[in-house]
Amino acid sequence: MTHSLHRVPVAQGEYVVLVMACQGVSDEGAQDALRCAYDILVAHDPVNLPDGENSVFSGPTQTQLREAIRDTSYLAAVYHRPDAAILVLRALAEADTGMSVVLAGDPGALEPVMRRAGVDAHTVHLSLGAFGVSPGFADHDVKAIALMCGHGLITPPYVETVREEVRRGRMSARAGANRLAALCTCGIFNIEVAANLLGNGVCSCHDPAR
């Protein structure tokens, strides 16, 4: 699973947990195991929760998302606090559903979370970043918000539009983050980080080049 690799590490903290069956190997009859994993994800207050096609910010309720789970579904949840991610990883390990679990985020922040949860990484994927000219991003905050959608459904110009609406007082930072989150069908958009970046006017992202 690599569609979260181009996220920009942020100071506020974010932990993305993805759960799925190995397609063509362990997906047959995986529905019950995935629903068990879903219940664990929900129990620890995620800031976003999708089922691979929709998220709670695009309309469906948590109950409807659970009912829509099939053998081949992919699940994800985004957490804003390390303690929540630790509890989720522990619970998933104890449940032993047989599903693949991916933890995504800033590698420096993930290692202590995994250690405290008592789990080890089977495989590690790292992004080397973008090389050369990268047009289309007005600034680092815009990039940080836009790249939280793994399928590129949140465009930099629209992020700029929403941010300007927030700055003019036409909507709250939370409302702006909700509007952007509704566009992200993969559901790994971190609404807490987006609201902070839209509302504080100061980038809280780690960017050595700044």
* pLDDT tens sequence across 14-27: 899 999 998 888 88
pLDDT value, residue 207: 37
- Tell me the per-residue pLDDT of 78-126, one tens digit each, with 9 for 90 and over: 999 999 999 999 999 999 999 999 998 888 889 999 999 999 998 888 8
Which residues, other chains included, contact 156 with Cβ-Cβ below 8 Å and sequence gap of 6+? Answer: 136, 137, 138, 142, 143, 146
Q: How far is CA 20 from the centre of its chain?
A: 15
Name beta bridge partners: 18: 76, 102
Could you give the residue range(s) of every CATH 3.30.70 domain in the chain?
Answer: 15-117
Structure tokens at 160: 């700029």
H/E run at residue 145: helix 140-146
The highest-level CATH class for domain 15-117 is: alpha beta
Pairing status of strand 15-20 against strand 100-104: antiparallel
pLDDT at 138 over 90: no
pLDDT value, residue 202: 36
